[in-house]
């Protein structure tokens, strides 16, 4: 549809109020390209809510319910895992013999690591499901928070590295890289981004840094 940009047309369009705009493409293949072109032309005038929707209204509502339920479950997984981690309080094991205590702590750590692996995979699947600016922002913030939760777990529960990244840390480090991508961190404030960056550096140093090598380097530097 071509609209001639006359003064009368401009005044008429300025008086129109709409609650939403639905972009329709001839085929599903063309939708992505046309959506990007439309967003580029409209710039900040419109905010995308859904990248695409089903042709049937009933299916569209059902799909939206699935997405909201999936995001709610993400929050529940994070909260329940934090609760389990809190209940695994090693201070209550002081009365045990050292070998028994070490065995129990190691077992609790392994269980928590498996729980976090499940959380990583769930967040990755959500990344394929969730669309729309609001949904993507919700998921991005949740992904960053879950990554921070895992890094604090590493600092509190896991032994320091010996110059090599251990096998158990592979999935977590991979997930932290995903969380730190610009498509997620763009929603953070400057202070939140700085805190996230510092926590990543602490976790990396804890997981992969060789304390003996660092001590040698410090000694050599002092010797100079």
DSSP annotation of 95 reads T
Distances from the Cα of 51 to the Cα of 41, 47, 60, 181, angstroms? 16, 11, 12, 20
Q: Comparing C-alpha atoms, which of 127, 154, 140 is closest to residue 209?
A: 154
Q: What is the mean pLDDT of each run of 10 residues along the chain (224 residues)?
A: 73 75 73 77 70 65 87 96 88 80 90 95 92 88 97 91 77 94 95 96 85 48 36
Q: What pLDDT was estimated at residue 93? A: 78
Q: What pLDDT was estimated at residue 25? A: 74
Angle subtended at Cα 104 by Cα 121 and Cα 114, rounded to the nearest 5 degrees: 5
Q: What pLDDT was estimated at residue 220? A: 42
Record the pTM.
0.71
Angle subtended at Cα 142 by Cα 141 and Cα 143, rounded to the nearest 5 degrees: 90
Q: What pLDDT was estimated at residue 3? A: 67
Rounded-to-integer distance, Cα 182 and Cα 173, Å: 16
72, 66 Cβ separation under 8 angstroms:
no
């Amino acid at each position: 549809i071509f609209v001639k940009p006359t003064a009368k047309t401009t005044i008429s369009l300025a008086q129109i109020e709409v609650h939403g705009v639905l972009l329709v493409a001839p085929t599903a293949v063309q939708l992505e390209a046309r959506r990007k072109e439309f967003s580029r032309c409209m710039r900040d005038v419109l905010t995308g809510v859904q990248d695409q929707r089903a042709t049937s209204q009933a299916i569209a509502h059902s799909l939206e319910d699935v997405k909201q339920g999936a995001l709610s479950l993400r929050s529940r997984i994070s909260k329940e895992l934090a609760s389990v981690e809190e209940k695994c309080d090693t201070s209550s094991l002081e009365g045990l013999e050292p070998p028994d205590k070490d065995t129990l702590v190691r077992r609790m750590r392994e269980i928590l690591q498996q729980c976090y692996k499940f959380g990583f995979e769930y967040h990755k699947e959500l990344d394929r499901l969730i669309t729309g600016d609001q949904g993507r922002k919700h998921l991005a913030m949740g992904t960053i928070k879950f990554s921070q939760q895992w890094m604090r777990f590493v600092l509190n529960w896991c032994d320091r590295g010996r110059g090599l990244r251990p096998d158990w840390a592979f999935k977590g480090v991979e997930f932290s890289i995903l969380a730190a991508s610009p498509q997620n961190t763009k929603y953070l404030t400057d202070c939140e981004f700085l805190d996230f960056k510092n926590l990543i550096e602490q976790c990396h140093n804890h997981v992969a840094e060789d304390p003996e090598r660092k001590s040698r380097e410090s000694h050599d530097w002092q010797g100079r």
